[in-house]
């Protein structure tokens, strides 16, 4: 296999979940190199489901399609099925268990999605217990008002969480050298890999009543407590009949540990330190660009003599590319990049930038997430003719430039792109040929606040658009002051009259 790295997604997951999953992967990788079967014990799978589970799928691995690709039944943790409610009343819920249940576990009832912590666990005789095994009848307080026969899901495994929480922290090995020579300053040096720090204290004086021995020094310097370090070696070079206050040994040890930690976590500025910026603050004429999605919008933009026109449809671009201000926007996801030479191109990713920059007039789109001068300069010296700044950038003050900078000041932005089709998932269809992306109906995702997010579908690609347009036309003067010269309008479904009004507003602000 050519796979050399595996990524574990820990976004919005607990540290305990991430730790447990990482351990599972580590064990499987070790088994692979030991030529052992690559399996996960059913017990481990059950434990994983109690930490976080929305039902597992293989995603795009192994060429899955349709509903096998993604689970849409629950947006949150559903846990591990451990039994079924067999009866209930206003006071108690009686559960037939097919897995173990402990006191202080968290459980959820499906389909009602009501949940609770099992503060009190009773056996069938209503005697308090702290654990009941598979096959037992468990009784819990009905403090959630359950009123239906339900599946019982274990969503918090209290025993597992305690076990994982009590794992000892991995310690970092350090080497310590102590110098305690008469009439010299007390010194402690710590080395961690290729980093060394040395701290010094007061002059060491002869002992009068109580000598400080090497054993005394070792005991004090070794007290690392709850730090992240463990001692690999401790070298003490000391004279006899010396006196050192034990308080000073402790303080110097703490100072040395603080210094080695600071050096280890210091940010290493490896990229920008030697990066030479080209001359900035060139002046460029103000321009307007517009992205169009159909022929009507394109013809309106041509009639209004917009400076730059971006076209998303390749056939439409081919029809009108004889006009020098027409650009083709490369799709963000493509199995094969077409051969394009001597054309105007709006690129949406670094791959297409590198492919087309040498033989075309290339402008970079906002998907490249450009937010600083260094990224602008990099694109400029590598062949970009204009750079679009990320719409996420909030602070544009003192944004220098040596190339025209473009900013989106009106339009509906794309929030997400995915090969997963939410429309197909709603059908009784196990293939990826639902044809919904070919019809003329409009579809939306609706959030809990009632906001509607339009879905644009093309074959096997889904684009989720923002629920609202951005409108920064009133901020154009501020952008001009800070070096921006090109102002983009991103059209969605706007008709001719609305397009004219938007362009006139922009021109009135320039």
What letter does residue 168 receive in the DSSP assignment? P
Identify the band that residue 459 occupies on the pLDDT scale cut at 50, 70 and 90: low
Q: What is the CA radius of gyration of the chain?
A: 33
CB-neighbour burial class of residue 31 (10 A; exposed 0-12, middle 13-18, buried 19+): middle
Closest to 508 (Cα-Cα) out of 469, 465, 472, 476: 476
Q: What strands, in cross-sheet order, belong to the sheet with 414-418?
A: 414-418, 461-465, 452-458, 443-446
CA distance 381 to 401: 12
Q: Which residues contact 26 (CB under 8 A, 6 or more apart)?
A: none
**Which DSSP letter does residue 242 get?**
E
Q: Which two tokens stand for residue 217?
A: 């020094």
pLDDT value at position 273?
47
Contact of 426 with 436, CB cutoff 8 Å: no
Q: What are phi and psi of 488, to 5 degrees?
A: -100, 140
Please state the three-class secondary structure of 38-74 as a single string. CCCCHHHHHHHHHHCCCCCCCCCHHHCCHHHCCCCCC
Q: Pick the closest to residue 333 from 7, 62, 60, 6 (CA basis).
A: 60
Triad 474, 475, 481: Cα angle to 5°: 135
| 401 secondary structure, DSSP code | -
Dist CA 377 CA 397 (whole Å): 17
pLDDT in tens, 309-357: 999 999 999 999 999 999 999 998 877 788 899 999 999 999 999 999 9
419: Cβ–Cβ under 8 A, 6 or more apart, which residues? 60, 333, 460, 461, 462
Output the pLDDT for position 196: 95
H helices of 209-265, in order, are 214-221, 246-265
Query: For residue range 345-355, what is the model confidence (pLDDT) as tens digits?
Result: 999 999 999 99
pLDDT of residue 373: 82
| Amino acid 39: pLDDT | 82
- CA of residue 452 relative to chain centroid, distance: 25
Neighbouring CB atoms inside 10 A of 361's CB total 17
pLDDT at residue 126 tops 90: yes
CB atoms within 10 A of CB 243: 14
pLDDT on residue 333: 85
Residue 148 has which token pair? 């239906």
Q: What is the pLDDT of residue 55?
A: 80
Torsions phi, psi for 30 (to 5 deg): -60, -40
Note the pLDDT tens digit of each residue in 34-80. Answer: 999 888 888 888 998 999 888 877 777 777 766 677 777 777 889 99
Please state the φ and ψ torsions of residue 353, each to the nearest 5 degrees: -60, -50
Confidence of residue 436 (pLDDT cuts 50, 70, 90): low
Nearest Cα residue to 16 out of 50, 54, 51 = 51
- pLDDT category of residue 506 using cuts at 50, 70 and 90: very high
Distances (CA, A) of 453 to 19, 47, 443, 464: 35, 37, 8, 7
CA distance 113 to 90: 18
pLDDT given for residue 268 in this prediction: 61
Judged by phi (left if over 0) then psi (alpha if -120 to 50, else beta), residue 66 lies in left
CB distance 197 to 256 below 8 Å:
yes
Residue pointed to by tokens 């919008």: 297
Lowest mean pLDDT among 8-17, 78-87, 301-310, 469-478: 8-17
Q: How far apart are CA 445 and CA 193, in angstroms?
A: 52
Q: Residue 154: enclosing H or E segment and its boundaries? A: strand 151-156
Question: In the numeric block, which tokens belong to residue 387?
Answer: 């750079």
Q: Is the pLDDT of residue 272 over 50?
A: no
The pLDDT value given to residue 236: 94
- Which residue(s) pair with 88 in the sheet? 93
Does position 278 have pLDDT exceeding 60, yes or no?
no
Which of 445, 411, 419, 399 shows the shortest CA–CA distance to 291? 411
Residue written as token pair 């789109």: 365
| Closest to 138 in 3D by CA, of 95, 108, 88 | 95
pLDDT in tens, 68-111: 777 777 778 899 999 999 999 999 999 999 999 999 999 999 99
Q: DSSP character for 226?
A: T
Contact in structure between 349 and 366 (CB atoms under 8 Å): no
Does the pLDDT of residue 428 top 60, yes or no? no
End-to-end Cα separation, the chain, in angstroms: 57
Cis ω for the linkage preceding 333 (within 30 of 0): no
Are 326 and 320 within 8 A, CB to CB? yes
Which residues in 102-125 are b (16+ Cβ under 10 Å) and which e? bbbbbbbbbeeebbbebeebbeee
Angle 202-205-206 (CA atoms, 0-180°, nearest 5)? 160
């Amino acid at each position: 296999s050519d796979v050399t790295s595996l990524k574990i997604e820990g976004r919005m997951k607990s540290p305990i979940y991430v730790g447990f999953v990482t351990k599972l992967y580590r064990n499987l990788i070790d088994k692979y190199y030991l030529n052992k079967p690559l399996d996960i014990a059913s017990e481990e799978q059950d434990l994983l489901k109690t930490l976080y589970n929305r039902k597992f799928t293989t995603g795009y691995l192994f060429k899955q399609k349709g509903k096998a690709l993604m689970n849409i039944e629950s947006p949150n943790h559903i846990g591990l099925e451990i039994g079924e409610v067999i009866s209930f009343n206003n006071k108690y819920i009686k559960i037939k268990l097919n897995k173990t249940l402990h006191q202080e576990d968290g459980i959820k009832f499906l389909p009602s999605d009501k949940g609770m912590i099992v503060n009190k666990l009773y056996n069938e005789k209503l005697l308090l217990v702290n654990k009941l095994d598979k096959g037992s009848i468990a009784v819990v307080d009905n403090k959630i008002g359950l009123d239906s026969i339900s599946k019982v899901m274990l969503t918090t495994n209290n025993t597992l969480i305690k076990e994982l929480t009590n794992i000892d922290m991995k310690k970092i090995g350090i080497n310590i050298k102590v110098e305690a020579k008469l009439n010299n300053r007390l010194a402690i040096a710590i080395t961690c890999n290729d980093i060394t720090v040395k701290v010094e204290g007061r002059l060491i004086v002869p002992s009068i009543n109580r000598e400080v021995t090497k054993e005394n020094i070792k005991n004090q310097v070794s007290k690392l407590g709850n730090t992240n370090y463990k001692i690999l070696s401790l070298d003490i070079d000391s004279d006899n009949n010396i006196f050192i206050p034990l308080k000073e040994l402790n303080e110097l040890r703490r100072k040395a540990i603080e210094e080695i930690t600071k050096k280890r976590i210091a940010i290493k500025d490896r990229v920008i330190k030697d990066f030479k910026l080209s001359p900035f603050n060139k002046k460029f004429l103000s321009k307007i660009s517009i992205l169009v999605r159909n022929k009507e919008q394109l013809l309106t933009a041509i009639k209004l003599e917009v400076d730059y026109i971006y076209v998303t449809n390749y056939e439409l671009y081919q029809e009108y590319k004889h006009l020098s201000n027409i650009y083709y926007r490369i799709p963000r996801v493509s199995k094969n990049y077409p051969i394009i030479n001597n054309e105007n191109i709006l690129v949406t990713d670094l791959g297409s930038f590198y492919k087309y920059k040498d033989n075309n007039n290339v402008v970079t789109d906002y998907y490249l997430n450009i937010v600083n001068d260094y990224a602008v300069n990099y694109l400029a010296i590598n062949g970009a003719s204009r750079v679009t700044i990320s719409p996420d950038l909030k602070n544009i003050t003192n944004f220098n430039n040596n190339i025209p900078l473009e900013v989106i000041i009106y339009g509906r932005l794309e929030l997400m792109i995915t090969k997963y089709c939410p429309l197909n998932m709603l059908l009784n269809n196990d293939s990826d040929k639902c044809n919904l992306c070919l019809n003329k109906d409009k579809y939306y995702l609706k959030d809990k606040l009632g906001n509607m997010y339009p879905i644009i579908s093309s074959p096997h690609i889904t684009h989720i658009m923002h629920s609202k347009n951005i409108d920064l036309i009133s901020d154009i003067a501020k952008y001009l002051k800070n070096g921006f010269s090109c102002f983009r309008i991103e059209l969605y479904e706007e008709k001719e009259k609305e397009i004219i009004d938007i362009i006139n507003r922009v021109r009135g602000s320039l």
